[in-house]
A and B are shown apart, each in its own frame.
Chain A
Amino acid sequence: MHAHEAISKAITDGRDAHGIALVAYVTAGYPSMEAFPAILNDACQHADVVEVGIPFSNPIADGGSLQETARAALAAGATMKKIMHTLRDLDGTLAAPLLLMGYLNPLLAYGLDRLAEDASSAGVRGVIVPDLPLEALDIAKPLNDAGLATIGMVSPVTSDARLARIAAHASGFVYAVTSVGVTGQHRSDQSDIVEYLKKVKATATIPVCAGFGIREKAHVDALRGACDGVIVGSALMEAVGEGRDVGSILQALR
């Protein structure tokens, strides 16, 4: 099974078992490189897929919470090299498959050929690059060639034609951004979101996960049936910042 198929399968398995799959986002190196493995391990116990965020100095799609975790992780000395080492050490011990979520520049600095090799050998199954649009996807070729999932992102303002092209190029799952804006902001009116997710579902041949602004169980429940999984990041990282237990936060969302 290719790495990207492992991601798709984890999402559909999670959906079949719980009604909706749960994807957890954790910032690598937050609150410290030492604390990160235990947090990651916990997240893997209670989520179907875990996104490991590579901290970047200028994360333009992130809201205040995730921006702050990235800043703190960098200040605490998180680097791509250290993150890959940590993941390699944990490989085989984690209960859920991993994705890397990173802005393009740190990935380019690391080298995409090197990333494809190191990520694969560290048990990473795919990547999410929020600032790599469809037109520039050829940059991700080394990752595709290694069988890694390249998660396609769409938003409520994406045209139907563009949605079809993104869905066709994506592997693993399609990441449907539920609100126009940065991460962490929740919109109270979800009715049009359900319609939008149904449209994405009808277009994609791989699973669809909804993210941005999903903070509590009610938000998750509102999306049951409309998509295959939900992605929870800001709310989880805020909890980590407050010293709360990741496992119980995720459990409460199920």
Chain B
Amino acid sequence: MTADTQGLLRALIGGALPNEHGFFGPFGGRFVPETLVPALDRFEAGARDALADAAFHNELRQHQETWVGRPTPLMYAPRLSEAWKAQVWLKREDLAHTGAHKINNALGQALIAKRIGAERIVAETGAGQHGVATAAACARVGLPCIVYMGAKDVERQAPNVVRMRRMGAEVRPVTTGDATLRSAVDEAIRHWVGDPQGTHYILGSAVGPHPFPWVVREFQKVIGIESRRQMLEQVHGLPDLAVACVGGGSNAIGFYHGFLGDSSVEMHGAEAGGVGAAVGQHAATMSGGTPGVLHGSRSMLLQDEDGQVSDTQSVSAGLDYPAIGPEHALLAHVGRVRYHAVRDGEAIAALDELSRLEGILPAVEPAHALALAKRLCEGRDHPTVLVNVCGRGDKDMPILTRLAEQEGR
């Protein structure tokens, strides 16, 4: 690590990043049409005001304890530990209300939206978890909600579409572009550009223009803070390895933040390796991308030599995104977190292993993290490994049913 990267990591741990322009070192910023600037300024001011207000934190805590079900448990996985020759601990974000970590951010942003007087909420969703979380949070705080979802994802995550509609949200399938998460983000931004005064856009991952990556991280930090405290209480020590899955990277950024200053904790991210290493066959941004600007921020991006954004592929709708949050790009740049591609098949095998050995059906997204954790345990002497199980697999039934049919079972 050079002095420059050491300085950046110190600044990040010390809370000095993002800077006033929203940059995490060379990544981040705000690259948006002028029409959105006042809306982003208003949201940033509202977020700063709320996050500095004890009354806001009290209200948030109350919702978290009585509605979200926080703290989520830290669980020892005895049979997985035996199989992997490791001490495996799972952070059970899948037990949070609506079935994933997404609720942490959706609730926080919905409360801010209410404070700044937004009349309606617009959101995008890939796997549907963020859409469900936003629909639930909007119902909770009393705001109308429109969710954009790629038509392909509407099909592969059908149960979540039903859940969103039942909670009063309007789900709008997006048929333009690649009809997945990236097109849903395009459409949600377009909607917001059309009504930046009345609408607040609850962006679901640690991506997008400043202040989103920062705000999302602040609301997801609860995962890392709880995990660290629970490790110290239950295990009397910190993990050797901390592993999370990364699409845009919201669960991972919150999880990592608990351990950034603990140099003994090795941190890793699992990206969607899809079905192959060729362009268009995966969504492994850090492994296959280069710096670029998409959806308002500069980060690592899957793109061709002309700067056109590449198509992506993954069994997991939630990881199927060609960019990654700017703070992750910084964490890789300074060498604090290492990112690895995990193929679809490896992730599904890990999903099966956790289901059979521990009776937990994880979402396909954290199955990528489990597969990577298993890989990292090989060749080590009984490491203590902590995996963030960021969501449950109920929503993946259509995918799992199709796979089961293909396998003839």
Q: Does B bind A?
A: yes
Is there an interface contact between B30 and A136, defined as CB atoms closer than 8 Å? Answer: yes
Please give, as numbers and ranges, the residues of chain B lying within 8 Å of A81 by CB-CB distance. 306
Is there an interface contact between B194 and A60, defined as CB atoms closer than 8 Å? Answer: no
Interface residue stretch chosen among A36-44, A152-160, A242-250: A152-160
Within the complex, the shortest CB–CB distance from A138 to chain B, in Å, comes to: 11
Does B359 have its Cβ within 8 Å of any Cβ on chain A?
A: no
Within the complex, the shortest CB–CB distance from B304 to chain A, in Å, comes to: 8
Is there an interface contact between B309 and A135, defined as CB atoms closer than 8 Å? Answer: no
Does A132 have its Cβ within 8 Å of any Cβ on chain B?
A: yes
Please give, as numbers and ranges, the residues of chain A lying within 8 Å of B190 by CB-CB distance. 60, 63, 182
Does A104 have its Cβ within 8 Å of any Cβ on chain B?
A: yes
Closest to A154 in B: B34
Once bound together, how far apart are the Cα atoms of A157 and B38, in whole Å? 7
How many cross-chain pairs have Cβ atoms below 8 Å apart between A and B?
A: 108
Is there an interface contact between B196 and A180, defined as CB atoms closer than 8 Å? Answer: yes
Does B51 have its Cβ within 8 Å of any Cβ on chain A?
A: no
Known A-B contacts A67-B176, A106-B308; A181 and B31 likewise in contact (beta carbons under 8 Å): no
Within the complex, the shortest CB–CB distance from A55 to chain B, in Å, comes to: 8
Once bound together, how far apart are the Cα atoms of A177 and B36, in whole Å? 12
Once bound together, how far apart are the Cα atoms of A105 and B182, in whole Å? 15
Is there an interface contact between B33 and A130, defined as CB atoms closer than 8 Å? Answer: yes
Once bound together, how far apart are the Cα atoms of A67 and B177, in whole Å? 9
Closest to A104 in B: B293
Interface residues of B in 251-305 (CB under 8 A from A): 292-296, 301, 303, 305
Interface residues of B in 32-48 (CB under 8 A from A): 32-35, 37-39
Most buried by A among B29, B176, B293: B293
Does B77 have its Cβ within 8 Å of any Cβ on chain A?
A: no
Please give, as numbers and ranges, the residues of chain A lying within 8 Å of B196 by CB-CB distance. 157, 180
Once bound together, how far apart are the Cα atoms of A155 and B305, in whole Å? 32
Does B81 have its Cβ within 8 Å of any Cβ on chain A?
A: no
Interface residues of A in 20-76 (CB under 8 A from B): 56-58, 60-61, 63-64, 67, 71, 74
Once bound together, how far apart are the Cα atoms of A80 and B37, in whole Å? 28
Within the complex, the shortest CB–CB distance from A120 to chain B, in Å, comes to: 20
Closest to A64 in B: B176
Chain A, interface size category, equals: 35 or more
Does B197 have its Cβ within 8 Å of any Cβ on chain A?
A: yes
Known A-B contacts A105-B294, A131-B293; A60 and B33 likewise in contact (beta carbons under 8 Å): yes
Is there an interface contact between A157 and B197, defined as CB atoms closer than 8 Å? Answer: yes
Known A-B contacts A57-B309, A67-B176; A109 and B34 likewise in contact (beta carbons under 8 Å): no
Does B195 have its Cβ within 8 Å of any Cβ on chain A?
A: yes
Please report A residues at the B interface, Cβ cutoff 8 Å: 56-58, 60-61, 63-64, 67, 71, 74, 79-81, 103-110, 130-133, 135-136, 153-155, 157-159, 162, 166, 177, 180-182, 185
Does B307 have its Cβ within 8 Å of any Cβ on chain A?
A: yes
Most buried by A among B29, B32, B39: B32
Within the complex, the shortest CB–CB distance from B163 to chain A, in Å, comes to: 28
Is there an interface contact between B21 and A135, defined as CB atoms closer than 8 Å? Answer: yes
Does B189 have its Cβ within 8 Å of any Cβ on chain A?
A: yes
Is there an interface contact between A58 and B194, defined as CB atoms closer than 8 Å? Answer: no
Please give, as numbers and ranges, the residues of chain B lying within 8 Å of A166 by CB-CB distance. 34
Please give, as numbers and ranges, the residues of chain B lying within 8 Å of A131 by CB-CB distance. 31-33, 293, 296
Please give, as numbers and ranges, the residues of chain B lying within 8 Å of A56 by CB-CB distance. 307-308
**A71, A132, A155, A177: the one within 8 Å of B31 (CB):** A132
Within the complex, the shortest CB–CB distance from A148 to chain B, in Å, comes to: 19
**A108, A132, A154, A182: the one within 8 Å of B194 (CB):** A182
Within the complex, the shortest CB–CB distance from B236 to chain A, in Å, comes to: 47
Please give, as numbers and ranges, the residues of chain B lying within 8 Å of A107 by CB-CB distance. 307
Is there an interface contact between B295 and A110, defined as CB atoms closer than 8 Å? Answer: no
Is there an interface contact between B309 and A58, defined as CB atoms closer than 8 Å? Answer: yes
Closest to B306 in A: A79
Please give, as numbers and ranges, the residues of chain A lying within 8 Å of B176 by CB-CB distance. 64, 67
Known A-B contacts A105-B292, A166-B34; A61 and B193 likewise in contact (beta carbons under 8 Å): yes
Known A-B contacts A131-B293, A136-B30, A158-B34; A106 and B306 likewise in contact (beta carbons under 8 Å): yes
Known A-B contacts A133-B30, A180-B194; A58 and B38 likewise in contact (beta carbons under 8 Å): no
Is there an interface contact between B38 and A182, defined as CB atoms closer than 8 Å? Answer: no
Within the complex, the shortest CB–CB distance from B193 to chain A, in Å, comes to: 6
Is there an interface contact between A136 and B296, defined as CB atoms closer than 8 Å? Answer: no
Is there an interface contact between B34 and A159, defined as CB atoms closer than 8 Å? Answer: no
Is there an interface contact between B303 and A109, defined as CB atoms closer than 8 Å? Answer: yes
Please give, as numbers and ranges, the residues of chain B lying within 8 Å of A67 by CB-CB distance. 176
Does B186 have its Cβ within 8 Å of any Cβ on chain A?
A: yes
Is there an interface contact between A105 and B307, defined as CB atoms closer than 8 Å? Answer: yes
